[in-house]
Amino acid sequence: MKGCTLRCMWCSNPESLHARRQIGVYPQRCIGVDKCGMCLTVAPDPAALVVEDGRVTRLDADDPQDYFACAAVCPTDALKVWGQRATVGEVMREVLADRDFYEESGGGLTLSGGEALAQSAFAVELLRAARAEGVSGDLEQSVATLPGGCDEWAIGSAGVASAPSPFPRINAQRNRYLTSDYSVESQRAILVTEAYRSHQSLKPLPYLSLLIADCTEKGRDVTAGGARYNSTGAQAVGLGTVADGLAAIRHLVFDRRLTTGAELLAAMSANWEGFDYLYALVNGSKVPHYGNDDPYADDLARYAAAVWCREVTRHDDAHGGRFQPGMFSVSSNIPFGKMQGASPDGRRAGEPLSDGIAPVHNEPGPHDHKGVTAIINSAARLDQRLLTNGALLNIRIVPSSLEGPQADDNLASLIRAYFRRGGSHLQIYVESREVLIDADAHPDKYPGLLVYVNGYSTLWDELGETLKREIIARSELSIDENTGLTPPGQGF
Ligand code: SF4
């Protein structure tokens, strides 16, 4: 909560010192006033936005409120409003979204700041509301208001009931967008089935059939359905790419009308060249993205996955079984991406598609920016029961967040909460971006560095350059603070 009576030199949350809303300036995120300059067009006094080396570096204004419009139009969050007004009910909606995690870990809501009691009436109401919902509440205080130094007060909790998750409403726009995928998937299923049928007649596998249960008893080759269990796996890649593309179209063209479909198409046809503002916008946090616990984008991912699963399972395979849909890409998101043109999620032509059911990370950086629990919540919104051949969520955790005494419990809670919410397959890779970048530059220093790719592990040295870039670009997440933010410009 914003507002504090102290001004400690070592404060780690300086944005919470002042009670009023402010504008934070992040010069490294500014793409340059020559390429963008949107903030200058809406600033009451453009000279108040100090520009150095072509980037906005400071706001020099008495009342930052007059410049909130600059932050609203900034596509990269180089200008960001610090602070948000919220009612007790609005905060509680956020709190209750994570109740599964509290139940698993014994955790709850902690009010901190700044000094939470600088807004004491609100703090008390919020803690009462949490207690009424059975969520424990803590208050972290500074020495200025509580004799004895920084402290925490436990408010207590009771059992928590689960709420049903919202189901997405299918509309004509999304149907139109995915119509082509229907037919493509059907054609693929038919072609795969025909290929297997050819296999049965031209190249049966009698020796393998001897080793598989029921083939001998049935007197039937494994390629002809002799096995007890028959199915054919069908994998999809790029779910995040599709979801973020749909979200960008819906948000920018239909809801906010910040661009037109024609302009978006022109930008993709030009591989985003000459469309810097739009490129920064679709890759920035102003557009909702899958992986941030935001139903706007997550429901589109859920919808796209369900459509694809339904289409795949409509078809019988050549063995007398069914096609089983799955989403784990191994490394096929790299070659499939090479074959694809630019996409509306802000991906340039030839760049990798998103892997498994993980969020997107394009060249400017990852699209998820709210930490590991947000990713978990987004992935758990998919109906993973439909993905009978597996749904892999790949996340990378920084080693330092696994070092404290709470680390094991935190990790166990995270895993349990994901599976409790319907997750089916979670793979966690522990390595820092710093080490990977160093290994890339100095391979001799890391002769045995084993990296987890996507369903398999291998030596770093044996990976191709594109795959190395893709692994380096993955979000770096922390499980001790849930603030696994990747600075912009460190993407693929
Ligand atoms: S709007 Fe943002 S990115 Fe564009 S020039 Fe201003 S600060 Fe830079």
Listed in order, strand segments (DSSP E) in 352-404 are 361-362, 365-366, 393-397
Q: Among 154, 184, 206, which residue terminates a domain?
A: 154
Among 37, 55, 82, the domain boundary falls at: 82
Q: Looking at residue 34, which CATH number applies to its domain?
A: 3.30.70.20
Query: What is the rounded (10 degree) CA torsion for 96, 101, 103, 106?
Result: -110
- Least confident piece of the model among 42-46, 128-132, 174-178: 174-178
Q: Read off the pLDDT of each residue in 75-80 and give the average, rounded to a whole number.
A: 93
What is the CA(26)–ligand 1 centre distance, in A?
Answer: 10
Structure tokens that stand for 188 in this block: 């693929």
pTM of the full predicted structure? Answer: 0.71
Which of the four pLDDT bands, split at 50, 70 and 90, describes residue 167? very low
- Please indicate, yes or no, if residue 324 is contained in any of the structural domains: yes
| Residues 235 and 300 reside in one and the same domain | yes
Q: Using CB atoms within 10 A of its CB, is residue 139 exposed (0-12), middle (13-18) or buried (19+)? A: buried
Q: Distance, CA 39 to ligand 1 centroid (Å)?
A: 6
Rounded CA gap, 150 and 140, in Å?
7
Per-residue burial over 94-131, b = 16 or more CB atoms within 10 Å of its CB, e = otherwise: ebbbbbbbbbbbebbbebbbbbbbbbeebbebbbebbb
Substitution candidate for ligand 1 out of 49, 74, 283 with most atoms within 8 A of CB:
74
* pLDDT at residue 217 is higher than 80: yes
Using the atom order of ligand 1, give the atom closest to the CA of residue 33: 5
Position 168 scores a pLDDT of: 36
Assess whether 102 and 63 both reside in one domain: no
SS3 492: coil
Residues 376 and 249 in one domain: yes
Banded pLDDT at 36 (limits 50, 70, 90): very high
Residue 456: predicted pLDDT: 81
Ligand 1 probe mutation, 35, 38, 68, most atoms within 8 A of CB: 38
The SS3 of residue 382 is coil
Ligand 1, residues 28, 56, 279: which to mutate, most atoms within 8 A of Cβ?
A: 56
Q: Does 17 fall in a domain?
A: no
Q: Which residues partner with 235 through β-bridges? A: 326
Same-domain check for residues 46 and 132: no
Query: For position 374, what pLDDT does the model report?
Result: 94
Q: Which two tokens stand for residue 53?
A: 């080396």
Å from CA of 70 to ligand 1 middle: 8
Considering the chain, what is the average pLDDT of its residues?
A: 83
Q: Are 355 and 464 in contact (CB under 8 A)?
A: no
Domain match, 29 and 146 both: no
Residue 430's DSSP bridge partners are 397
**For residue 68, what pLDDT band results from cuts at 50, 70 and 90?**
very high
Shortest-distance Cα residue to atom 8 of ligand 1: 30
Q: Which residues line ligand 1 (CB under 6 A)?
A: 30-31, 33, 36-39, 56, 73-74, 76, 78-79
Residue 492's pLDDT is what?
A: 45
- Whether the CB-CB separation of 290 and 393 falls below 8 Å is answered with no
* CA-to-CA separations, 192 to 318, 320, 335, 340, 454, in angstroms, rounded: 8, 13, 19, 21, 24
Whole-angstrom Cα distance, residue 83 to residue 19? Answer: 9
pLDDT for 312 beyond 70: yes
Question: What was the pLDDT predicted at 142?
Answer: 64
Ligand 1 atom index nearest CA of 31: 3
Tokens at residue 302, please?
A: 């859920």
Total domains in the chain come to 3
pLDDT digits (tens, 9 = 90+) for 245-291: 999 999 999 999 899 999 999 999 999 999 999 999 999 999 999 99
Mean pLDDT value across residues 2-26: 84
Which atom of ligand 1 lies at the shortest distance from residue 77's CA? 2
Say whether both 388 and 284 belong to one domain. yes
Say how many Å lie between the CA of residue 492 and the centre of ligand 1.
Answer: 22
Greatest mean pLDDT among 25-29, 121-125, 178-182: 25-29
Residue 405 is predicted with a pLDDT of: 84
Mutual angle of helices 239-248 and 295-313, in 10-degree steps = 130
Q: What is the distance in A from the centroid of ligand 1 to the CA of 33? A: 6
Q: In this predicted structure, what is the pLDDT of residue 345?
A: 97
Q: What is the band of 91 on the pLDDT scale with cuts at 50, 70, 90?
A: very high
Instruction: Clarify whether residues 421 and 312 are in a common domain.
Output: yes
Nearest-angstrom CA–CA distance, 430 and 400:
9
How many residues are present in the chain?
Answer: 492
In which domain, by residue range, is 116 found?
A: 88-154
Q: Which of 369, 330, 344, 347 is nearest to 476 (CA)?
A: 369
Rounded to the nearest angstrom, the distance between the alpha carbon of 191 and the centre of ligand 1 is 49
In a domain, 484, yes or no: no
Same domain, 284 and 426: yes
Residue nearest to atom 3 of ligand 1 (CA): 30
**Which atom of ligand 1 lies at the shortest distance from residue 38's CA?**
1
Which pLDDT belongs to residue 189?
A: 63
**Best residue for ligand 1 mutational test, from 34, 36, 77 (most atoms within 8 Å of Cβ):** 36
Determine which residue's CA is closest to atom 6 belonging to ligand 1. Answer: 39
164 within a domain of the structure (yes/no):
no
pLDDT at residue 173 above 90?
no
Output the residue whose Cα is nearest ligand 1's atom 1.
Answer: 74
Per residue in 225-248, pLDDT (tens digit) is: 899 888 888 889 999 999 999 999
Element holding 437 (H helix, E strand): helix 433-441
Tens of pLDDT, residues 352-400: 999 999 999 998 989 999 999 999 999 999 999 999 999 999 998 999 8
Residues 292, 401 share a domain: yes
Residues 253 and 150 placed together within one structural domain of the fold: no
- The CATH number that applies at residue 322 is 3.20.70.20
Mean pLDDT value of segment 183-197: 62
Hey, which of 112-121, 333-342, 381-390 has the most confident mean pLDDT?
381-390
Ligand 1 centre and the CA of 7: distance in Å? 30
Predicted local confidence at residue 323, as pLDDT: 84
Assess whether pLDDT exceeds 70 at residue 62. yes
Q: Which two tokens stand for residue 353?
A: 């598609």
Domain final residue pick, 82, 107, 129: 82
Burial class (CB in 10 A: 0-12, 13-18, 19+), 242: buried
Q: Are residues 65 and 180 in the same domain?
A: no
The residue that leads in pLDDT, 153 or 273, is: 273
Query: Are 393 and 254 in the same domain?
Result: yes
So what's the pLDDT on residue 29?
A: 92
Spatial contact of 389 and 422, defined as CB atoms under 8 Å apart: no
**Residue 162 covered by a domain:** no
Is residue 59 assigned to a domain? Answer: yes
Residue to substitute in 28, 29, 30, 277 for testing ligand 1 pocket (most ligand atoms within 8 angstroms of CB): 30
CA distances to 90, 110, 428, 429, 442 from 461, rounded to whole Å, are 49, 44, 20, 17, 11
Rounded to an integer, the average pLDDT of 188-192 is 63
Q: Is residue 282 part of a domain?
A: yes
Band of residue 223 on the pLDDT scale cut at 50, 70, 90: confident
DSSP character for 332? T
Decide if pLDDT at 145 tops 70.
no
Among 479, 485, 483, which Cα is nearest to 414's?
A: 479
* pLDDT band per the 50, 70, 90 thresholds, residue 186: low
Q: How far is C-alpha 403 from the geometric centre of its chain's CA atoms?
A: 24
- So what's the pLDDT on residue 483? 42
Would 14 be classed as within a structural domain? Answer: no
Does the structure show a pLDDT above 60 at 53? yes
Least confident of 140-154, 213-227, 411-425, 449-463: 140-154
Residue 165 in this model has a pLDDT that exceeds 50: no
